[in-house]
């Protein structure tokens, strides 16, 4: 208390000046229309800036939650794509609500570890067997094909990505529907090679590549990449085609694991023919 009194005595002229200034401002603002409007407008402007800054801070801390919500929403939308359903030919008109049987289901997850500069690259996801992931499942992102699940634990899974020489995927050139096999030659994490496209086919730079759906891993129509270079080599019957991959493996974060719901039935049928 003594310290407070000493402070008041020491600065009483300054305090009296501030008090009188405040009273003067109060009287001017309350009894002059023009000054009052100016004060209100200025207050609203300053308040708006302050609120904007505060909202920006809160928005930053809620980005993770919002991102998770969007990923879940995208996963639900992917599950509604018609290409994920198989048409059932019904001999009877009595069943009206079972025209389509779901063929694929998408599980959302995140990449928690990845490599792009190794001879054999891998990705690790934060979802596993408990969440419904199985070895052999395809993995895609919003940009296109990522790879295939190699191994699974209860809560994690390791993915063999496109940028691994052990990975191959059947692709179709969207413009003319010719298909070939895409593989990674190790030259760049952004590039791959499309092979088995014969010389008589009209192939152009800029043609887009999509999955054929021939295997039980990916459905038809998942983007793989864009043709960057088409080269005719002497003595060869097939083009040398370099592809710009649609997925940037240095930036990949959110992915979707594809659960092929009819895979066991399809594999069982194939084994009767192959066996």
Q: Are residues 57 and 152 in the same domain?
A: no
Q: Are residues 57 and 182 in the same domain?
A: no
Q: Are residues 111 and 57 in the same domain?
A: no
- Which residues, including other chains, have CB under 8 Å from residue 148's CB and lie 6 or more apart? 136, 137, 138, 139, 159, 160, 167, 217
Q: Are residues 169 and 37 in the same domain?
A: no
207-213: average pLDDT: 94
Q: Are strands 104-114 and 254-260 parallel, antiparallel or unpaired?
A: antiparallel
Domain assignment present for residue 82? The answer is: no
Q: Are strands 157-161 and 168-173 parallel, antiparallel or unpaired?
A: unpaired
Domain assignment present for residue 69? The answer is: no
Domain assignment present for residue 198? The answer is: yes
Residues in the chain: 275
Q: Are residues 52 and 174 in the same domain?
A: no
Determine the pLDDT at residue 3: 65
- Number of compact structural domains in the chain: 2
Domain assignment present for residue 78? The answer is: no
Domain assignment present for residue 219? The answer is: yes
Q: What is the per-residue pLDDT across 55-88, written as a single tens digit (0 to 9) for each?
A: 555 555 555 565 665 655 565 555 555 454 444 4
Query: What domain range is 119 assigned to?
Result: 106-274
Q: What is the per-residue pLDDT across 29-65, written as a single tens digit (0 to 9) for each?
A: 666 656 555 555 555 445 445 545 545 555 555 555 6
CATH code at position 209: 2.40.10.340
DSSP state of 30: H
Q: Are residues 203 and 258 in the same domain?
A: yes
Domain assignment present for residue 170? The answer is: yes
**Number of neighbours of residue 193 by Cβ within 10 angstroms:** 16
Has residue 143 got a pLDDT over 90? yes
Domain assignment present for residue 153? The answer is: yes
Which tokens hold the place of 111? Answer: 């990449």
Q: Are residues 173 and 50 in the same domain?
A: no
Which tokens hold the place of 37? Answer: 């409007």
Determine the pLDDT at residue 14: 76
Lowest mean pLDDT among 79-83, 87-91, 102-106, 154-158: 87-91
């Amino acid at each position: 208390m003594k310290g407070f009194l000493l402070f008041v005595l020491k600065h009483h002229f300054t305090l009296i000046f501030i008090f009188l200034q405040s009273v003067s401002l109060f009287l001017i603002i309350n009894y002059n229309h023009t000054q009052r409007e100016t004060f209100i407008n200025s207050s609203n402007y300053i308040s708006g800036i302050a609120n904007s800054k505060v909202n920006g801070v809160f928005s930053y801390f809620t980005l993770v939650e919002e991102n998770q919500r969007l990923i879940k929403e995208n996963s639900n939308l992917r599950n509604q794509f018609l290409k994920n359903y198989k048409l059932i030919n019904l001999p009877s008109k009595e069943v009206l609500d079972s025209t389509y049987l779901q063929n694929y289901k998408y599980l959302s997850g995140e990449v928690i570890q990845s490599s792009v500069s190794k001879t054999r690259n891998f990705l690790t996801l934060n979802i596993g067997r408990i969440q419904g992931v199985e070895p052999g499942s395809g993995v895609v992102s919003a940009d296109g094909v990522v790879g295939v699940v190699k191994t699974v634990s209860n809560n994690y899974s390791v993915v063999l990505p496109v940028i691994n020489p052990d990975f191959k995927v059947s692709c179709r050139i969207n413009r003319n529907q010719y298909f070939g096999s895409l593989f990674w030659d190790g030259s760049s994490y952004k590039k791959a090679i499309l092979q088995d496209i014969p010389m008589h086919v009209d192939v152009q730079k800029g043609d887009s590549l999509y999955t054929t759906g021939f295997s039980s891993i990916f459905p038809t129509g998942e983007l793989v990449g864009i043709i960057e270079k088409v080269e005719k080599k002497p003595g060869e019957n097939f083009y040398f085609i370099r592809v710009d991959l649609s997925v940037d493996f240095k930036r990949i974060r959110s992915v979707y694991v594809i659960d092929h719901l009819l895979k066991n039935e399809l594999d069982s049928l194939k084994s009767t023919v192959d066996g």
